[in-house]
Amino acid sequence: MAAFLEVQNLTKTFGTTTVVKDVSFAFDKGEFISLLGPSGCGKTTILRMIAGFESPTAGSIRVDGHDITTLKPNQRQLGMVFQAYALFPNLNVGDNIGFGLKIAGMPAEERRARVEEMLKLIGLPGYEKRYPYEMSGGQQQRVALARAIAPRPRMLLLDEPLSALDAKIRVSLREEIRAIQLDLGITTVFVTHDQEEALSISDRIVVMHAGNIEQLGAPHEIYNQPATRFVATFVGQLNNIDATVLDPAAQTVSIDGQTVTVPHLPAGATANAPTTLTLRPEVACVGPREGNDITLSGTIADVTFLGSVIRLRVKLGGNTLSLDTFNDQRSAPPQRGEPITISLASKDLLVLAN
């Protein structure tokens, strides 16, 4: 079965600067896709090309088997929600939601029923007579979402719709957006620079950097099996551990004078050569644990209380590692300067391409 959204060899150049470089991906109907990356990586430009607000320099875009590359935005049957709510301040909520329906010529009675349906869907029944200035930012963004999906678009495009909201509202609204998307079964492309947002609500994630796709995969794949150093450092916390190769054949290295066997070393590694290992903060633990075959001794350099999690900074010599452990209400957290022994599994040490 053909993919619902197909982007092939998409390139966009502004003057002498290429901001999207020969990008290709394909997604199935009903998937929630996030384009994730830092500012300037090309993710919003890709979304704008899908929407029709930018024309590709090269490449093509197909939706449900139809080439839409050269169609005008209003010919694509796509719904779009922007970072700024973009509601009409002189129209009440009902008229904002029904604006596209009115333009499309839907009869008034049918339009009122659809607006009422949308208000129930976004959890704001009875708000149709209110004006945008009478509503919170989160409520306004819900209205913008309802306006986008009211005409029953083939696909929904979201351009950092949560970035202007405070942290608590962002979390609740992203969960609502995901619930609505699942309920409608609508294919959705979501642009964000927030790794937590992308990991929590996506079926698959496209990690962008400098106009290129660094990795495409499910959230657990992106986090647990990062393909490049950029992905590993951009998505989640990461420890970089300086080590020295002892015996390439035996795959042993020295970490601050402590001998460790690792799953693999870079091709061409030689004895006494420096190498870098990486480790997620949550995979190491305080003290021994079944299955952990590496034990390292050090001193606690810092303790950060984050509520359910306590982040320890452990000095091992030349290296300092971050270690996340769950808060235990029955005991006080460790203190700076205390000696500590940590353990980890060698299989969790990563050697990443640059």
20-71 pLDDT per residue, tens: 999 999 999 999 999 999 999 999 999 999 999 999 999 999 999 999 999 9
Q: Computed from CA positions of residues 145, 148, 150, 155, in that sequence, does the dihedral angle turn out positive or negative?
A: negative
The DSSP bridge partners found for residue 86 are none
What six digits make up the tokens of 275? 């190498």
CA gap 281, 75 in Å, rounded: 48
Strand bridging mode 78-81 / 155-159: parallel
Helices (H), 88-209: 93-97, 99-103, 108-121, 137-149, 167-184, 195-201
Domains and CATH numbers, the chain: 5-234 (3.40.50.300), 239-348 (2.40.50.100)
pLDDT of residue 268: 80
pTM of the model: 0.88
- pLDDT tens by residue, 149-201: 999 999 999 999 998 888 888 999 999 999 999 999 999 999 999 999 999 99
Q: Residues 208-245: pLDDT tens digits? A: 999 999 999 999 999 988 888 899 889 988 888 888 99
The answer to whether 254 and 275 are in contact (CB under 8 A) is no
| Percent of the residues in the chain that have a pLDDT greater than 90, as a whole number | 68
